[in-house]
Structure 1
Amino acid sequence: MTTTTDTLSLDPNAALVVIDVQQGFEDSAFWGPRNNPDAEDNIAALMDAWQRSGRPVVLVRHDSVNPVSPLAAGAPGNAFKDFVEKRGADAALLITKTVNSAFYGTPDLQEWLTAAGIGQLVPVGIQTNMCVETTARMAGNLGHRVLLPLDATHTFDLAGPFGLHRTAEELATATAVSLHGGGFARVVTTAQLLAAVAE
């Protein structure tokens, strides 16, 4: 039976997709300033709640092909952060990828979701405006119902063309507006999801 909290409906087999929560993202010299210091605690709380409820957790790891990236395959930073590693033993699926979308990884996420009869995804992780957003957009395009807890993600400041620069918080806000306003996902909070799981 689907549970509902503040009109938030959570399927009994909704998949929590934990994206790129890897040790290499601790390298502030490489990535720069980040936002949302509570992201890891919120991700951990969701993983715990998902596993207690028997819902599936999918782990996604980015194996960067850039040899100087802290996330490069074989580098120490490629490993999951300890709290994910600790909770990941019972994960339903581990996907490795070299691009932004978890749908372009190995094994095939969409194939697994279809076989499992899963139609609702909850993407969390790093970076909000990169791999989390890309995965959420593709999930929406593929017809999945996506709930994105913005406070269970984080990102970093970023420079763009023509001298443009945006802070991590500005980028996260833009992701929330684009995904929610554009109909790709419903942006929610960790608290809302925890309440829905507890019902």
Structure 2
Amino acid sequence: MEITQNAALLVVDVQQGFEDLDAWGTRNNPAADENIASLIAVWQDTGRPVVFVRHDSVKPDSPLRPGQPGNGFKEYVERRRGAGKGPELFITKTVNSAFYGTPDLDAWLKAEGVTQIAVAGIQTNMCAETTARMGGNLGYDVLFALDATYTFDQEGPFGWHLTADELARATAVTLHGGGFATVVTTEELVARAR
């Protein structure tokens, strides 16, 4: 795995509202925040572009809706914004894909000459996966940092229930097996980015 000098890190929805386990339920991967912080640090320290994505929910009961404390980035993310040597972009969105946010992510990446993106953030099987899939569809070389994401147990149709770990594995298999992204670890990305 090679990481280009201008590979962009997409930090997706690392917001305070995801700390509200009453709203979301049981989560997986307690090391995710530490891994996300490591990726932001190495990307900024090496002058690579970082994109901070915030979900502005339109659902009236969501802890991620604007005006609520949960809409804000987690403290370690907010502290790193503006601290890098390379280009930075802030995107807001109301749907799953960062490519449907404001400003236009695809246009910005193209203007910066970016052909490779690394995706980290919350939730693994929702906004992180959707952003990775769309990035793959748009022709980017996508690296998906599985252990720098987390998700929550979820109920589905027919009384089906999947744990957060099962959903994360399903995302990894779908992205990797479907050719949308290369699923990697934070350790691999940090080592190669240095």
Same fold by TM (over 0.5)? yes
1:149-188 matches, within 5 Å, as 149-188=145-184
1:1-199 matches, within 5 Å, as 8-90=1-83, 92-198=88-194
For 1:28-58, what per-residue CA distance to the aligned partner results, in whole angstroms no more than 9, with x for missing partners? 0000000000000000001000011000110
For 1:156-184, what per-residue CA distance to the aligned partner results, in whole angstroms no more than 9, with x for missing partners? 00001110000000000000000000000
Task: Output the amino acid matched with 1:181.
Answer: G
Task: Output the amino acid matched with 1:135.
Answer: T
Task: Output the amino acid matched with 1:37.
Answer: P
Shift of 1:74: 1.0
For 1:2-36, what per-residue CA distance to the aligned partner results, in whole angstroms no more than 9, with x for missing partners? xxxxxx11000000000000000000000000000
SS at match of 1:44: helix
Distance 2:191 2:64 in 1: 34
Task: Name the TM-score, length of structure 1 as normaliser.
Answer: 0.95
Distance 1:60 1:13 in 2: 18
RMSD: 0.7
For 1:97-125, what per-residue CA distance to the aligned partner results, in whole angstroms no more than 9, with x for missing partners? 00000000000000001111100000100
Shift of 1:149: 1.0
Identity %: 65
Q: How many residues align?
A: 191
Distance 1:60 1:86 in 2: 15
Shift of 1:89: 2.1
Task: Output the amino acid matched with 1:18.
Answer: V
SS at match of 2:81: helix
Task: Output the amino acid matched with 1:61.
Answer: R
Gaps of 5+ in 2: none
